[in-house]
Amino acid sequence: MAAALRLIDPCAPLAYAAVADLAGLGGVEATVLRVVSGLAPHLAITVEQAARNIPKRERGVAFVSIDLTARSDDLTIVINSWKVALTVAKRNPGARVCVWQHVVPGRHNRVMAADLASANITLLCVSDSLLKTLANMLNAPVRMQVLYNPISDDLHPNEIRHDPDLPIFTSAPHKGLDQGLPAFSALRTSIPGMRLELADPGYLAWPVGDLPAGVTRLGSLPHDQVIARMRAALCLFYPQQRFAETFGLVIAEANAVGTPALVHHSLGANDEVASDPSQCIDGRDANQIADRIHDWRSQRPQVRANSAFRLRNVLNAWQQLLAAEPVAAFS
């Protein structure tokens, strides 16, 4: 197993080192903290952040500013930026370098394939869906493997009674809320008593205009309060068809606490992460949405967490990465 891990985050707009720092940030940063905190008892970890000016040590992890001039033989993981990864690889020949890919790069980044292949840089994809998307997009052999985003080991259904008239939307507004609100209004014509809660993580300002009748904005809530609202809801209401989740942490977490997620089929990782196929519908079809909600108001599907997404199992996969030789190129 590698003796040390260097993780570089050139993307986060705010410095973070603890859960309390995540206000205004998203699932990527929460995932980073879960992984490094879980691995810290086993090896030395340094997290370099573009937004950090003052070094900090938290739970055995060193959080510092980025220094791309530094020389290091440690396994280096770069979040989302293949160009930064290339810079690191060129400065540290022979070191293992990976890009932890949480997003789909723009089509103009197809040229990255040849550079990544020549530098032996591995793409770590957060879902099988993302790996397949990138494999289709790139046109040169590139090392790729899947490391899921983790959900907490202690997320389980409990005895809290859910409200059969209350779905919830817990993603950032740019993730299809402009399609979700009209879909909810159409649903409300079929079931007049329905209400919808909106919990916005708050990391991106996005105009949504006037809210339709029956919709309540909860604002940006701490993660434990979001989970509590998920438990109380009939379902996660996410029938939008535009934003392709590369993993869909909110879907995985909702299922983990027993709350079904109403998602558009064949979009991003929706079908992969949703633990019961009845959750995947045609989000363009108002009748199909209404029929599924009618069914769930009487009897919700028994959804549970995919054990592969549990933090303990994701950490095991990371430990295998730390101990392994580079994977074969995917061509």
Which DSSP string do the residues of 125-157 spell out, in sequence order? ESSHHHHHHHHHH--S-EEEEE-PPPB-TT---
Give residue 111's pLDDT.
82
Instruction: With H, G, I as helix, E, B as strand and everything else as coil, classify residue 188.
Output: helix
Using alpha carbons only, what angle is made at residue 86 by residues 244 and 73, rounded to the nearest 5 degrees? 115
Q: Which amino acid is at 166?
A: L
Q: Are 171 and 239 contacting, i.e. CB atoms less than 8 angstroms apart? A: no
Instruction: Report d(CA 63, CA 57) in Å as an integer.
Output: 6
Would you state the structure tokens that stand for residue 129, as one six-digit string?
């869906």
Q: pLDDT tens digits, the chain, 331 residues: what are they?
A: 567 999 999 999 999 999 999 988 889 999 999 999 999 999 999 999 999 999 999 999 999 999 999 888 889 999 999 999 999 999 999 899 999 999 999 878 878 899 999 999 999 999 999 999 999 998 778 999 999 999 999 999 999 999 999 999 999 899 999 999 999 999 999 999 999 999 987 776 666 778 999 999 998 888 999 999 999 999 999 999 999 999 999 999 999 999 999 999 999 999 999 999 999 999 999 999 999 999 999 999 999 999 999 999 999 999 999 998 554 544 3
Q: Which residues contact 239 (CB under 8 A, 6 or more apart)?
A: 179, 180, 183, 262, 263, 264, 281, 283, 289
Instruction: Report d(CA 259, CA 171) in Å as an integer.
Output: 15
Q: How far is CA 102 from CA 40, 151, 316, in A?
A: 22, 15, 19
What are the residue ranges of helices labelled H in the chain?
27-39, 82-91, 112-118, 128-137, 177-190, 223-232, 249-256, 270-273, 286-298, 311-323
Give residue 330's pLDDT.
43
Give residue 209's pLDDT.
74
pTM: 0.93
Token look-up 């998307």 returns 133
Q: Which residues contact 313 (CB under 8 A, 6 or more apart)?
A: 307
Would you state the structure tokens that stand for residue 267, as one six-digit string?
């979009």
Q: Which residues pair with 151 in a beta bridge?
A: 310
Give residue 2's pLDDT.
67
The DSSP code for 163 is P
CB atoms within 10 A of CB 277: 10
Torsion over CA: 80, 81, 86, 89 (sign): negative
Q: Which amino acid is at 30?
A: A
Q: Are 237 and 243 contacting, i.e. CB atoms less than 8 angstroms apart? A: no
CB atoms within 10 A of CB 154: 8
Instruction: Report d(CA 127, CA 72) in Å as an integer.
Output: 29
